[in-house]
Amino acid sequence: MTTRRRAIARAAVTLASAIAFTGCLVSSFHPIYDDSSILFDERLVGVWEDRESRVTVTFSRGEWRAYRVEYVDRTGPTHFTAFLTEIGGRRFLNVRPEDGLERPAFLIASNGIIQVDVTDNELRVRELDYDESARRLAAGRLNTAAATDLKQNVVLTGDTTAVRKWLAASLQDEALFADWKTLARK
């Protein structure tokens, strides 16, 4: 695998690692936002850190209503584009590899799904729980269109409307979400 491909592949999973993925992830082919649902919360802008895991996440204003995200861990920095949206009264970040990069043939950039809760000094984040999602998918009980890729990641395959509807219906199902991770404003 080339250095560029490794960097792109790392970009697809790195922010998820910041919030404690155990190796596999749940993502979506389609974004979880549409033009009318994009929000911008100025409180996200800034530097956030998890001192225990030595992770720093910097949010800055991107183009239009996007965020530019720099994630730094022991392996170095990785960059993303993120959009904030609200589903069922809860806020989610749609995170994908940085916009504007040329991708090699056959590489599909998916959309990470991260629930967020932000105050002035604390950012709580959590993702869909991979193990529970994979179990439900295998048993035919995930209740949304999905598949696994070659690395056994769970990829939601429904369109934006279908994924948003499924997320809204899933919000009360705590087993479907990983534990909250907390980052402090630096």
101 pLDDT exceeds 80? no
The DSSP secondary-structure symbol of 120 reads S
**Alpha-carbon torsion 162, 168, 169, 171, what sign?**
positive
In this structure, what are the phi and psi dihedrals at residue 124, rounded to the nearest 5 degrees?
A: -105, 135
Q: Using an 8 Å Cβ cutoff, are 101 and 94 in contact?
A: no
β partners of residue 86: 91
Quickly state the pLDDT bin for 108 (edges 50, 70, 90): confident
Average pLDDT rounded to a whole number, residues 90-109: 81
Closest CA to 178 of 52, 170, 84, 158: 170
Determine the number of helices (DSSP H) and then strands (DSSP E) in the chain. 3, 12
7 pLDDT exceeds 50? no
For position 84, what pLDDT does the model report?
A: 98
Q: What is the pLDDT of residues 121-173, one digit of tens each?
A: 999 999 999 999 999 999 999 999 999 988 899 999 999 999 999 999 999 99
Q: Using an 8 Å Cβ cutoff, are 26 and 111 in contact?
A: no
For position 105, what pLDDT does the model report?
A: 73
Q: How many CB atoms within 10 Å of residue 51?
A: 10
For position 33, what pLDDT does the model report?
A: 97
Q: How many CB atoms within 10 Å of residue 62?
A: 17
For position 11, what pLDDT does the model report?
A: 39
For position 103, what pLDDT does the model report?
A: 63
> Distance between CA 119 and CA 182 in Å, rounded?
11
What stretches of 1-121 adopt beta strand conformation (E)? Answer: 26-28, 38-39, 46-50, 55-61, 67-73, 76-87, 90-97, 111-118
8 pLDDT exceeds 60? no
Radius of gyration of the chain (CA): 15
For position 23, what pLDDT does the model report?
A: 57
For position 109, what pLDDT does the model report?
A: 80
Q: What is the pLDDT of residues 9-64, one digit of tens each?
A: 343 333 434 333 345 899 999 999 999 999 999 999 999 999 998 999 999 999 98
